[in-house]
Amino acid sequence: MSGDAYDTLARFWEIQNDGDYTKVVELFADDAVLVDPIYGTFEGGPAIADFMAKMNREMTKIGASFRLEELEGDETTAWAQWVATTNKGDRSGVGVYRVRNSQITYYRDYMNA
């Protein structure tokens, strides 16, 4: 598929693959909401920036990396199936996203137990 949401999330995953989560902050709208199943809900650019800095520290501690399995999207919505690999093994999940004007306005991850 293609469209603004798909293209924005493809860029998100390219940046995330480099391992510096703070670089994805530029893709979030100032009024974005991010919901993480472990760390909670973050509203607005500054809160999301703080969370991404925390992700850099926490993911390094557990030797985590994420692998994109599948990405689908259109102009306004997208979803990504991913696998997180840590020093404790693999865990899969899905992220759902809303995009407006090439910026993420909503992002929520779901993980398999």
The tens-digit pLDDT sequence of the chain (113 residues) is: 689 999 999 999 999 988 899 999 999 999 999 999 999 999 999 999 999 999 999 999 999 999 999 999 999 999 999 999 999 999 999 999 999 999 999 999 999 97
Backbone angles phi, psi at 13, to 5 degrees: -70, -35
Distance (Å, rounded) from C-alpha 82 to C-alpha 29?
A: 23
Q: Which residues lie below 8 Å from residue 79, measured CB to CB, with a gap of 6+? A: 71, 72, 73, 94, 95, 96, 97
Distance (Å, rounded) from C-alpha 61 to C-alpha 72?
A: 30
pLDDT computed for residue 25 by the predictor = 97
pLDDT computed for residue 1 by the predictor = 63
Distance (Å, rounded) from C-alpha 101 to C-alpha 27?
A: 10
Domains and CATH numbers, the chain: 4-111 (3.10.450.50)
